[in-house]
């Protein structure tokens, strides 16, 4: 993945005290073909440069196209109503005039290694596998190398605890204000620079995960450099040797003090010329994260006196002072790790919440109650099962366009699930092309049958094209089931177990035979009539006494339908009930005549006629009125 590097040089300005004069640098990954918003607003921008007040809150839109190896930058027009707007210019380097010019119409396209400028910030396109330039100190030797574990640093007392505490007193507000990992790094580097006044630069560095052990690669996602220092003048290039030693080899805080003596790789007189002139000793502390992320806090500076010209007492004093910085660095790294861990748990919790209805979110904040609630128990449950038919055939017919066909099925499943969760139900899981929802867990719900009925009607209405063509069926039952965390080991999910669940599956299968969208049990029909006694919204009609596979006793089945689109007109409801009663009582001639006369096109009536035709209109011996509804001829 490509990255955009932003380096901001904020100059000292007595009129502006809000932003510290400093050089800031950071890198942002560029996902392919996704527009990214660039601006100053940390809370809303994908690429945020909060220190540069010459960049507007929402400055430009960047789009990386890997196929073309190009990054398109489109500047947004200035809002005329905004008081004192920034210059709002995007600049590019013109090869002919050898100077920066404004991008025509605020638009430019840059390739790898090329740059554009906005305000005080230079943006450069890089590959994510590009490593930082070589550090001058790596051409010299580090005669003093100190290593300390986190436990060892905890045993060392603070020499000046008041100064450290003063710098970190705003940590709670800093942590609460951040919204993502990059913003956390940015804010914590400000704390680092305040807590370590002798540091010239601080950075979050990382060894790429795919970096081979024999390579010294290092990336710098975020850094901050004080003005008028060698790092600000020549560029901040942390020591790869020190970073690899601390992060991979030793996995503990490492301090290096460098001498201008050459390592034998050549060029020491040139790379360390500044050290010879000023007679200073460069130093750096690298403190790795302990979470396996290959990140580290890197702090660098210079101390007075050239190392090889100092006596041992002076050298020991330098190391003792810098050990305090190691201790502060380890403390701040621990804070960063904890904050990141909490942030990731918060994001995970948000994802988990989306799998639960809003009425159950409160349990996610109480782990003890959640654990108790998940223990399987017998509950009075209302179950809803909805199935899309011919899913396998549909997938086979659209094998060349699986993503598109899956999107269509996914939209239908989302419709089912949202109808359930919007009415305080729980989605027990997706069974291929079907959804199981239920009410009554973790606690018995008032009006749970009514809620399930309304969810079923919503599904049938939204998936009208499916239900009208017989490609979708819904069923609802009510009874006792075991509810809770069911399954094996780490595959356990919130689910149901019991005959009432199987019965719901069987009734849903009968919707195809009867040609109706929704079938419910007798108890459901009764409670629906109690919830809506006038039938202004929901109605039911009997379908007869059916036999469900696997159940020894027959049961009364009912169709549930909306009063807006009634299956039976008001003036024919009694005649329908009479026809079903005649059929159940074995008076088939009368039943067939009434069905043919009043309900010739009713799919449920045709189902009853198929039962009679299969028996040649002769009532079977020992007829108890129950039957297994046959599917229409030619159907699967």
pLDDT (tens digit, 9 = 90+) per residue, 449-478? 999 999 999 999 888 877 676 678 999 999
Rg (CA), the chain: 36
DSSP H or E segment with residue 191: helix 181-195
CB-based burial, 2-13: b 16+ in 10 Å, e otherwise: bbbbbbbbbeee
365-567 CATH fold:
Alpha-Beta Plaits (3.30.70)
Share of the chain above pLDDT 90, in %: 52
CB-based burial, 563-576: b 16+ in 10 Å, e otherwise: eeeebbeeebeebb
Give dist(CA 76, CA 89) in Å, integer: 9
In this prediction, residue 277 carries a pLDDT of: 43
Give dist(CA 417, CA 394) in Å, integer: 21
pLDDT-derived band at 129, boundaries 50, 70, 90: low
Of 388 and 600, which is predicted with more confidence? 600
pLDDT-derived band at 354, boundaries 50, 70, 90: low
pLDDT at 421 over 90: no
What is the pLDDT averaged over residues 108-112?
93
Say which CATH architecture domain 2-127 belongs to. Answer: Sandwich (2.60)
In this prediction, residue 511 carries a pLDDT of: 94
In this prediction, residue 271 carries a pLDDT of: 36
pLDDT at 223 over 90: yes
pLDDT-derived band at 265, boundaries 50, 70, 90: very low
In this prediction, residue 401 carries a pLDDT of: 57
Alpha helices in 288-441 (DSSP H): 312-353, 361-364, 367-374, 391-397, 402-421
Other Cβ atoms closer than 10 A to 582: 19
pLDDT at 508 over 90: yes
pLDDT-derived band at 79, boundaries 50, 70, 90: low
What is the pLDDT averaged over residues 84-101?
79
Q: pLDDT tens digits, residue range 618-629? A: 999 999 999 999
Give dist(CA 592, CA 135) in Å, integer: 95
Give dist(CA 437, CA 254) in Å, integer: 56
Instruction: Tell me if 477 sits within 8 A of 522, measured CB to CB.
Output: no
In this prediction, residue 274 carries a pLDDT of: 44
Give dist(CA 117, CA 306) in Å, integer: 38
Q: Which CATH class is domain 136-347?
A: alpha beta
Q: Please provide the DSSP assignment of 18-69 as one string.
A: SS-SEEEEEEEEE-BT--EEEES-TTT-SEE-TT-TTS-SS-EEEEEETTTT
Q: pLDDT tens digits, residue range 268-303? A: 333 333 444 468 899 999 999 998 899 999 999 999
Give dist(CA 490, CA 472) in Å, integer: 32
- Domain layout of the chain by residue ranges: 2-127, 136-347, 365-567, 570-636
pLDDT-derived band at 19, boundaries 50, 70, 90: low
What is the pLDDT averaged over residues 543-570?
94
Give dist(CA 488, CA 616) in Å, integer: 51
In this prediction, residue 276 carries a pLDDT of: 41
Q: State CA 121 to chain mean position distance.
A: 31
pLDDT at 185 over 70: yes
């Amino acid at each position: 993945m490509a990255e955009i590097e932003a380096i901001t040089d904020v100059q000292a300005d007595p009129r502006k005290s809000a932003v510290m004069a400093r050089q800031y640098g950071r890198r942002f990954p560029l996902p392919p073909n996704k527009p990214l918003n660039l601006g100053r607003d940390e809370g809303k921008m994908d690429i945020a440069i909060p220190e540069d007040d010459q960049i507007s809150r929402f400055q430009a839109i960047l789009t990386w196209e890997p196929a073309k190896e190009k990054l398109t930058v489109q500047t947004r027009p200035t809002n005329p109503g905004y008081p004192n707007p920034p210059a709002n210019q995007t600049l590019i380097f013109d090869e002919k005039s050898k100077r920066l010019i404004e991008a025509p119409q605020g638009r430019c396209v840059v390739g790898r290694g090329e740059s554009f400028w906005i305000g005080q910030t230079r943006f450069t396109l890089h590959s994510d596998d590009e490593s930082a330039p070589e550090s001058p100190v790596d051409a010299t030797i580090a005669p003093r190398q100190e290593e300390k574990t986190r436990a060892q640093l905890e045993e060392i007392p603070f020499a000046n605890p008041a100064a450290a505490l003063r710098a970190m007193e705003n940590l709670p507000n800093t942590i609460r204000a951040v919204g993502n990992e990059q913003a956390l790094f940015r804010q914590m580097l400000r704390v680092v620079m305040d807590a370590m006044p002798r540091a010239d630069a601080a950075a979050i560095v990382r060894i790429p995960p795919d970096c081979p052990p024999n390579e010294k690669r290092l990336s710098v996602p975020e850094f901050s450099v004080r003005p008028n220092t060698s790092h600000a003048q020549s560029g901040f290039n942390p020591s790869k040797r020190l970073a690899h030693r601390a992060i991979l080899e030793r996995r503990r805080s490492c301090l290096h003090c460098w001498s201008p003596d050459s390592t034998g790789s050549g060029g020491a007189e040139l790379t360390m010329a500044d050290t010879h002139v000023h007679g200073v000793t460069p130093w750096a502390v690298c403190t790795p994260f302990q979470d396996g992320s290959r990140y580290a806090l890197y702090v660098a500076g210079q101390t007075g006196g050239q190392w090889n010209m100092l006596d041992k007492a002076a050298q020991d004093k330098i190391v003792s002072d810098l050990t305090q910085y190691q201790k502060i660095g380890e403390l701040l790294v621990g804070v960063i790790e904890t904050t990141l861990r909490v942030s990731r748990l918060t994001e995970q919790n948000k994802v988990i919440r989306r799998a639960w209805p809003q009425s159950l979110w409160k349990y996610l904040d109480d782990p003890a109650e959640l654990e108790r609630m998940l223990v399987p128990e017998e509950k009075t449950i209302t179950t809803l099962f909805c199935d899309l038919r011919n899913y396998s055939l549909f997938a086979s017919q659209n094998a060349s366009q699986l993503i598109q066909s899956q999107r269509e099925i996914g939209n239908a499943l989302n419709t089912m699930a949202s109808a359930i969760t919007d009415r305080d139900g729980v989605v027990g899981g997706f069974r291929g092309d079907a959804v199981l929802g239920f009410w009554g867990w973790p606690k018995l719900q008032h009006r749970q049958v009514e809620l399930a009925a309304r969810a079923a009607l919503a599904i049938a209405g939204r998936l009208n094209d499916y239900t009208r063509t017989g490609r979708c069926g819904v069923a609802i039952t009510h009874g006792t089931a075991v509810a809770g965390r069911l399954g094996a080991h780490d595959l356990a999910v919130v689910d149901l177990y019991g005959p009432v669940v199987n019965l719901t599956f069987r009734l849903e299968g009968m919707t195809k035979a009867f040609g109706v969208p929704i079938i419910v049990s007798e108890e459901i029909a009764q409670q629906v009539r109690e919830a809506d006694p006038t039938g202004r919204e929901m109605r039911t009609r009997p379908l007869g006494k059916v036999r469900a596979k696997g159940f020894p006793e027959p049961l009364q089945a009912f169709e549930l339908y909306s009063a807006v689109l009634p299956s039976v007109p008001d003036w024919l409801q009694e005649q329908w009930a009479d026809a079903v009663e005649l059929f159940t009582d074995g008076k088939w001639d009368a039943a067939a005549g009434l069905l043919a006369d009043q309900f010739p096109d009713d799919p449920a009536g045709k189902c009853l006629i198929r039962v009679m035709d299969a028996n040649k209109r002769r009532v079977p011996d020992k007829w108890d009125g129950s039957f297994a509804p046959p599917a229409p001829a030619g159907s699967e």
